[in-house]
Chain A
């Protein structure tokens, strides 16, 4: 849904263009010097640190209020970002929520990448019937609006973090599969790959040695931006009442539950909204920077 389709176009404009390898020194310097990537990386690293050190950073217990009567406190004093309906500290909940959002991003993209790369390589490498099946499946999934597909899956499985992983993971793979299939098709026809096959290398060897490395960079870029999309999608599902289960303080469900109070206690929705925004922005910037770096034509 929110996966940037620039990559599709990149793939289409000239699939034969060489893709540089990662980890060359000068490149890293250039990569970091690009402002967007720098900011993006900084945000993401900061978020990871916040997630790891959440217990040290959070001023209050995020799951349970010290007293119910602390409810509806405006920002200030011992509650820098205010409290929610149950008197819980919004800041602490946002800090702990980082863990959930990052996990959602990582796991969902993990599932999408695993499925997408596997199906894409299989379809592109063997073509024929398998390819027809995978391509049709991809088309079907494209016809489903992602959020609605995830919504149906969550309805079946019930709300909850694990089910959100599955639902969004299942919804996210087709983009990656399409990209990897295209890459595989073009790499497969290259002379050195054909030579390797002629020399009797196993399919497995060819895939792991020649094809997967060529897919690495675009998939990496896509997965980074996909994390942003997954975090947004989780928020959307939470908004519709099908988000993470309590006591998990998911940002999306914080907005969903604070939204009835938006006119008078806007802090309940604004700060989680800002948290989502900054996180998604971080991943988008990082993905953007990665792409600029991995694809020197721009």
Chain B
């Protein structure tokens, strides 16, 4: 009996640890500790469940298998999380999220036959059945959706921009709801008889998850991952409801609601609504800024290095292109070199630079760029008119002036880094390709702009070497 007391108390403590951990995670100074606190709560809940959980008087069996599975998961999870490149981090989060969703779905599948509580017949029209089916659907959608999001960020899966797909999606959602209703209308039957329907529901949900994410553009994946993250939270909570387990309930719902708010905040940072992200077909149709006004002017490496070396104030605007080229270390070298020459160098960080909010900060931090050098968009913009050179490396939409002055542009209204205010602009770019929003960037045609074409890494390498020679 004492075991049950300890178990329940450990769940209460775990819930508190989750809440405190999450709270601390939302402040820069305490974030790391918060993460560890939440992890401690998790370990506690897991260990005490194995030791003391009882169902109908029976303790947890198959302990050997459970521990083996825990070890396998730990070794793989730890290894992958430690090894993954920082640029590939968003897709890894998506992958882990999918694992959680699949776990929740599997629990629902396995528990469904037991819903009769030992008896042979169960009433399908009940809250328990609804709960377990919701857990199944949400977990499955989260799993397949996360896998597609993973594929998109990894570059394995392209966008599928078909306008009518959204109607298909709405239809599928109705089918899923109808299916749940149908299972619940079966009356009192042995739950095993409904298993075929349950598996069918799983299949439909897998397809729905795929179709839900497919039409959403790669640039919007962070929002989608955050949304799916909160889905998995809800799926975990349905498990908590099923087992009357407070730790699962608090943990799941907490993530569900916090994740939803986080999703909304991310959308706000891009000045878009969640609905717009999910159903909106971004870019493509934009009739914005016709090309041809003004010409593209290239700059030679030598001129660029002279310009940079004799400036007083340089601001670097990094984008995902920098990260893809793995050039953040070289970028840091350039910064150090210029600083030695007495140039004041800062980085301008757009809230959605990189693949996720805050992603760019992490990537630059990895290259040892000091915290004070990273300046947020709103703080750097007033400084830009006094800046000699803005160097844009692999960024595009976040410096597109169309967001300010072209109401017909799909990104109109998005806050941008006002690179066009600076005295000179150097743009490092692979070619004249468009950014994620697939719209023309008038900044490249600006009189003050000079283009430096080529792979960010190679170009930076040459630039650094050239400045050293000066």
Q: Say whether A associates with B.
A: no
